Structure formats: structure tokens, C-alpha cells
A and B are shown apart, each in its own frame.
Chain A
Amino acid sequence: MSEFFTTTAIVATLASGIRLSAPFLIAALGESVGQRAGVLNLGVEGVMLIGAYAAYNTALETGNVLAAVFVAILMGVLMGAIYAFITVVMHAQQGISGIGIYLFGLGITDLLFQKQVGTPKPIDGLQSTSVPLLGDIPTVGEIFFRHNALVYVAYLLIPVVWFVVNRTTFGLNIRAVGETPEAADTLGVSVTWTRVSAILIGNGLAALAGAALALEIGIFQYNLTAGQGFIAIALVYFGAWRPSGIMAGALLFGIVSSTVLQWKTLGIVSGSASSFTAMAPAVLTILVLVVVSRRIGQPSALTKPFDRSD
């Protein structure tokens, strides 16, 4: 155990924790926007997989990381449009529709990936870029300022999402529609369009989270996300629908994951014991959900379809 408590090991663990938290953070922030508008999207995992595959394949074909991110977001928005049509326009039950989206994402990415012959080729993923000046600070710079671009994007999204939700007219509409859609409707706010826009944003971000994962690892594989999309949904509850709370949750999960990895690398846990520590994120998810099950601050109209004639 003593080999873990060295500056090098701890700095490395914290830095990689921040890096691992980025996909959680992006996906959970996106999901929170949808939930604030009253839409639960359980399909995050599937959309992340689609985003990851789209980013991997685009990067493989073009070698252009920016194009990969763009295509991934586009696919996410497309999935969002399908989900919005099913749930908002057709008033389908949100829980079961989201599971459908997840299964679709899991299946289609596996199918397409298997069609590609030969052993999977790795891609040139995202390179870490050190922030000028800040990256040179000893220790602090190593932990916070030597990451790839999408990690910075993830953390920049926190104030952006906060501002959009709390300080813009669009955000006011989102909050109103998620709490009391009837009231918003009588004031001429379109419940349908507000919810559709929120879903598109959420799915676009979910796909971006998937892209961040694939471009970070530089490879795609079956079920690459391994439940991260579902953890992201749990983080929205954990963070009580606030960007700052979601950040805290994402960091917690990132650091737990990196600690588990570090222990395995350093040989602190080995063999069957490492299988148990690998369960840590899953166990943590369950604990988190039990603890926050009091549901303070949940949007009142969450999962409730809106129909004016009711």
C-alpha cells in the first residue's frame, strides 16, 4: 500500500481521475438539461456508444479529430430527434423508450464494428496539450492542466450549462416546462419545442461523451462505454440537477476509477481481488442512488408527457 502514497502515484491518480471524469461529466450535464425540461433519457449509454463509434470510424477514415467530434455530435442529435419524436410528439412512455434507444445503440455499433474486417485498427486519438504557463506549475499543473482538449471542454461546459439553464430565456422555459408544463403552455411557451431542444442538446452531449471516450483510448470495441452512460444518469440525481453537484459526482467516479486502475498497475491488488475492486464504480453507483433517493429538487414533471387536452 505504501507504494500508492507517493507524490508521483497520487499525482498520476488525480490527473487520470480528472481525465476519466470527462465522459461522465459531459454525458451527465447533457442528461441534466433534458431532465430539467422534464424528460428522462435512459438511452444515454446507447447514444454514447453511437457517438464513440461515429468518432472512431470518422477518425479512422479521415484522420481528422475535429471531423470525428463533429460527426459524433451529429449522430447524437439524430438519435435525439428520434427519441424526441417518440416521447414528446407521440407521448410514449419515457423509461421504456430510453431502454429501446440503449439497446439500439448497443446493437447497431456492434453490428457495424463486426462488419469491419480484420483486427481493429487503433486511431490517432487526442493528444494532451499543456496549458501555457499553468501547465508548467509543478504538481498542480500536472494534475489539472495537461489534458486533452475534450477534458477542458467538459469542464468548460459546467459554467456554460449553468448559464444557459439559469440565466437565459431558453433556460427559464426549460425549468418551467420541467416543473409545470401547463403553466408554460398558457403563457405561450411551446412545451413541445422546449423539450425537443433540450433532448437534442442532451443527446448531442451524450454522443460527445462517447467520442471523448473513443478518442481518448484510440480504439472502439463492443460495449466500450461499459455502463458509463447509466452512471451519468445516476450522477444527475447525485448532483441534485445542479452542474456543480454533477461535477462533484463525476470527479468522485473518475478518481475512484483511476485509483482502482492505479492499484492494479502497482500490484497492490492482484488476481481475484482486482476483480472485486473493479466493481467499485458499480457499487458506488448503487450506494449513491440509495443515499440521494430522497429526491430533493427533482423536476416535478419529470417523465410526464404533456398533452394540452388532458
Chain B
Amino acid sequence: MLEMRGITKRFPGVVANEGVDFTVRSGRVHTLLGENGAGKSTLMKILFGLYRPDEGSVHLEGTEVEIRSPADAISRGIGMIHQHFMLVPTLTVAENVALGLGGAWGSSDLRPIRQRLVEVSERYGLEVDPDAFIWQLAVGERQRVEILKALFRNARILVLDEPTAVLTPPEVTDLFTTLRQLRDDGRGLVFISHKLHEVMEISDEITVLRDGRIVGNTVPESSSRESLAQMMVGRPVLFTRTVQHHDPGEDRLVVRDLVVQGDRGNLAVDKVSLSVRAGEILGVAGVSGNGQRELAEAIFGLRPVESGGIDIDGVPAGSLAPKAVRSKGMAYVPEERMRDGVIGEFTVAENLVLVDHGSPPYTRWGFLRFGAIKRQCTKLVQRYSVKTPMLETLTRSLSGGNIQKVVIAREFSCGAEVLVVSQPTRGIDVGAAEYVHEQLLGQRAAGAAILLISEDLDEVLQMSDRVAVIFRGQIMDQLPRSEATAMRVGRLMMGLKAE
């Protein structure tokens, strides 16, 4: 029903898509697989009218069409579930669905919409309260609203951009049930992901993109996780990392009954108690927005502590400024690396010394010593294999993976033995992610106490010695690795206690 032929899209300095052919058939789930930056999103943005292709054409039901805007795409029956939800948080579910449906000046009577909403959501198992405000909903419910929005606009082709990235395993199961139903209704589905087991489960066909080009077309029956990963990355990928078991040491970081407020004055962290021992990774799993960011910021002194205590090596360290926290031997890899991790307009070298720039050998008599800085940075760039043209390159021009390596190089090289690491591999390519994981395990082997906060459940399960699950600011449970199965942790992430 839809064919994209020879699509090429260039941005200054990069070719995002080159000669890409892509077909969507009615009643089929066609997966677009590729790393971050492989060109999946660009291709779909072209389909949805957000970008115009430089070359190539789009054909719908056999006729060539030009998709000028999202409105145009919608009217042609193309619906898109964006990775970052396109919902207005201060409006209700019904209002979000109604948005853009009526004429410009009509009075908006929401009753018919509410009624149809109930019908459609029952039919596809997309339960949601039409009168709830979006900000009140959990992430999984928000996604259902996104799907409902597309269905209300009679989407015949549905593009889902990394829909499972934010879901817990039980929610993924529900989503797949809905997707199969939509497929069986004769809709054409495009599923974008880099999670291989999900791709194997839901796809009818698979197209793999790498560096903007198609490197393979296949079906799940004739492929394996290993073969897909190799196509995606361009080299064999290690799946099972053997994490050496060793006995952890003393408690290094202890958090007792910590209470922290969120940005809206809400209770973001509710009496959280945790302890991380030397040579141990404690993973904190949870759906986005359940207090992880506030927890990390409070521990590192970036957010005031309402009550409770934080001890580093038995010494109270709650409510200290970040500089004082650092002097006690803690380092921090923030989740928003562009906002909190580096200064984009600074050079790689400047970012690498940003913590220690005020002390010798980088400074003498208040003047920066560029020779010493350059020597140290050259060493760091080599040791952490940061791919940068020069030390003087602006940090923001690097890829996400390399920016993360700059942050890791700075934070892991300052001699800290307590590490708070948030979302260390979000949005970076497989190679860089592997590298970050190796570095984390290296620090663990060297005896560091690591608090790993991640929304990527696979990452938490793979890396941690113990897993704590956070839900609405509370720790639901803490499990040793041997007992932490994806389903069990997934249920805890949704706030369901074990029976």
C-alpha cells in the first residue's frame, strides 16, 4: 500500500538516508531495525511530512504523492506514534484526541468523541479514561492515547517509533496484542526498534539500516538475534557478558529514608533507603519519571534533601554542594548529558578538565596551564577512545556516544570510588554502549561502589549485582541478580507487589 523509492536525504555534513527503498504492506508488520543515527527516524519523518527528501519518491496505493506536512500525511491515512509522545499534558485525553479534528471556529463538543473513544478503546484493548488529564497518566497509558489519536484519524498505515523503549515487559505484551489486532484489521504497521527479541517476536518482515543505507531485508524465520545484530552493527556483537562474581566489600554509599521534592513541589522520592558496597553495582530499575532523576540529583547535592540521610563511607553527606560531595569521592554521570554532563559550546579539552580545572596541575596562580591540560587530555582521549578530530573540537559537534565517553572519561578518571550513573547508554550506538558497560565493570572490579540508574531494563539486569525497583518514588523491592527476572522486575516497575 505504501512504497518509498530511492529516498536520499542530506543534512550539512551527513547523508542521513541514501537510496533507501521501503515498502509497507497491508496486514503486515514491517520492522525498521538500526542503531541510533542509522537513519530510521529521518526516513519516517520524510514519510510523515516533517522532512522533504532530496531525491526519491513516495507512492501510495500505486500513485506518486508528495507529503508536505504532518496534516497532509494524516489526511492520506498515515499515523505516527512518536518516540517522544506528542501529547499536551494540560489537556484531557478527549481533548488531545479532538485536537485538529474540528474546523477552526466550531464549538468543541467533546461528547461524540468521548463516546467513540470508549468504543475504539474497548475494541483494541486500549483502556483509558477520556476525562483524565495527560499529566495524570502513566507512560503506558499515554502511549495508548497516542495510538487512539492515530486510529481516530483513520490511519491505514501506522508508524511506531521505538514504542517499547518506555514500557515494562508486561506492557510490551499488551502492546503487541493490540498491534496484532491492528495488523489483522488490514492495516500496515511500521515497527521501529533496536531490541532484537521484540523484533523477532512481532515482525513479518525486517529491513536493516546502517549509516543511512539498507544493509539487509529478511524475515524472522530465516534470521537470528546474532545475525540481525551483525547486520545492524556491521560486526559480531557479544550478547552474554560474563560478569565475574566476587564478594563485595564494605558499604560505601548509604541512603536512609530519603525524601526529596520534585520540580512541582510534589513528593518525588519517598523514604528511599539503599546501600551500595565497594565492588558492587546496584541497579535501580523503573519507568521514566518515577523519581530516578530526583534521587540521583539529591545524592549528588543538586537538589535539596527534605529529610533522611546520605552517608559516604559513614560520613554524613546529605545537603552538601556538589563540590563538597565530589571531595568526598563521589562522581556523577547525569542522564541529560548535553544539559548537565558537558557544556556543548566548550571544546573537548575544556570539558575533560571541567572538574579539576581550578587546581594544579591545570592551574597555577589563577592561570590555566594549557600544556598540562593538553597532555592530560591527550591521554584521556586515547584511554577512553573518544573519537574527536582535535582536542579543540566543540563538544556539541561530537556524536552522542562520543560525548558520553567524554563525560565518562572525566568522571571515572578523577579517582572517585562512589559513582552515581544515570542512563549511561541512552541514545548512543551499540559500540559506545558496549564500551560504557566495559568501563563500568572495570570500575566495579577496581572496587568502586556504583549506583546505576537506568530505564533500560535489559541494561539493569545485565549489569547489576542487585536490582532495586523504584515506583512513584518508593523502592518496591530489592532483589539479588539471580532472582531478578524481566517479568518479575517488570511487574514491580508497574507498582504490582509480588503476590
Binding site for B on A (CB under 8 A): 167-173, 175-176, 179-180, 182-190, 300, 308-309
Q: Is B108 an interface residue (CB 8 A)?
A: yes
Are A183 and B108 interface neighbours, CB within 8 A? no
Q: What residues of B have a CB within 8 angstroms of the CB of A190 in the complex?
A: 71
Smallest Cβ-Cβ distance to B103: which chain A residue: A169
Are A169 and B91 interface neighbours, CB within 8 A? no
Q: What residues of A have a CB within 8 angstroms of the CB of B90 in the complex?
A: 175, 179, 300
Q: Mind listing 23 A-B residue pairs with CB under 8 Å? A: A167-B107, A169-B102, A169-B106, A169-B107, A170-B104, A171-B108, A172-B98, A172-B102, A175-B90, A176-B88, A179-B88, A179-B90, A180-B86, A180-B88, A183-B87, A183-B88, A183-B96, A184-B88, A186-B70, A188-B71, A188-B75, A189-B71, A309-B51
A308 to B71, CA, bound (A): 13
Q: What residues of B have a CB within 8 angstroms of the CB of A180 in the complex?
A: 86-89
A300 to B50, CA, bound (A): 22
Q: What residues of B have a CB within 8 angstroms of the CB of A179 in the complex?
A: 88-91
Also in contact, A185 and B99, with CB within 8 A (given A169-B105, A179-B91) = no
Quick one: which of A167, A171, A189, A308 contacts B100, CB cutoff 8 A? A189
Q: Is B95 an interface residue (CB 8 A)?
A: yes
Are B105 and A176 interface neighbours, CB within 8 A? no
A168 to B106, CA, bound (A): 6
A186 to B98, CA, bound (A): 13
The digit string for B99-143, where 1 denotes a CB below 8 A from any CB of A, is: 111111111100000000000000000000000000000000000
Are B70 and A185 interface neighbours, CB within 8 A? yes
Interface band, chain B: 20 to 34
Are B106 and A308 interface neighbours, CB within 8 A? no
Quick one: which of A172, A182, A188, A309 contacts B74, CB cutoff 8 A? A188
Q: Apart from A180-B86, A180-B87, A187-B86, list 10 A-B contacts with CB within 8 A.
A: A168-B106, A169-B101, A169-B104, A170-B105, A171-B108, A172-B91, A175-B91, A180-B89, A187-B74, A188-B74
- Minimal beta-carbon separation of B54 from chain A (angstroms): 14
Q: What residues of A have a CB within 8 angstroms of the CB of B100 in the complex?
A: 173, 184, 187-189
- Minimal beta-carbon separation of A76 from chain B (angstroms): 21
Smallest Cβ-Cβ distance to B108: which chain A residue: A169
- Most central of B69, B87, B88 by chain A CB within 10 Å: B88
Q: Is B82 an interface residue (CB 8 A)?
A: yes
A218 to B128, CA, bound (A): 58
Binding site for A on B (CB under 8 A): 48, 50-51, 69-71, 74-75, 80, 82, 85-91, 95-96, 98-108, 149
Are A168 and B108 interface neighbours, CB within 8 A? yes
Q: What residues of A have a CB within 8 angstroms of the CB of B106 in the complex?
A: 168-169
Are A173 and B99 interface neighbours, CB within 8 A? yes
A179 to B89, CA, bound (A): 8
- Minimal beta-carbon separation of B293 from chain A (angstroms): 18
Are B105 and A168 interface neighbours, CB within 8 A? yes
Q: What residues of B have a CB within 8 angstroms of the CB of A175 in the complex?
A: 88, 90-91
Smallest Cβ-Cβ distance to B87: which chain A residue: A183
Q: What residues of B have a CB within 8 angstroms of the CB of A300 in the complex?
A: 89-90
Q: What residues of A have a CB within 8 angstroms of the CB of B74 in the complex?
A: 187-188
For the complex of A and B, list the 9 residue pairs with the smallest distance between their C-beta atoms, beginning with the closest.
A188-B71, A187-B100, A169-B102, A183-B86, A180-B88, A189-B100, A188-B100, A186-B70, A169-B108
Also in contact, A188 and B86, with CB within 8 A (given A169-B107, A172-B91, A183-B99) = no
Q: What residues of B have a CB within 8 angstroms of the CB of A171 in the complex?
A: 108
Also in contact, A167 and B89, with CB within 8 A (given A172-B95, A186-B70, A188-B71) = no
- Minimal beta-carbon separation of B117 from chain A (angstroms): 15
A182 to B99, CA, bound (A): 12
Smallest Cβ-Cβ distance to A175: which chain B residue: B91
- Minimal beta-carbon separation of A139 from chain B (angstroms): 38
Also in contact, A172 and B108, with CB within 8 A (given A185-B70, A188-B74, A308-B50) = yes
Quick one: which of B70, B104, B105 contacts A187, CB cutoff 8 A? B70
Q: What residues of B have a CB within 8 angstroms of the CB of A182 in the complex?
A: 86
Quick one: which of B80, B82, B99, B104 contacts A184, CB cutoff 8 A? B99
Q: What residues of B have a CB within 8 angstroms of the CB of A170 in the complex?
A: 104-105
Q: What residues of B have a CB within 8 angstroms of the CB of A183 in the complex?
A: 85-88, 96, 99
Q: What residues of B have a CB within 8 angstroms of the CB of A308 in the complex?
A: 50
- Most central of B99, B101, B105, B106 by chain A CB within 10 Å: B99
- Minimal beta-carbon separation of B160 from chain A (angstroms): 14
A67 to B237, CA, bound (A): 77
Q: What residues of A have a CB within 8 angstroms of the CB of B75 in the complex?
A: 188
- Minimal beta-carbon separation of A294 from chain B (angstroms): 8
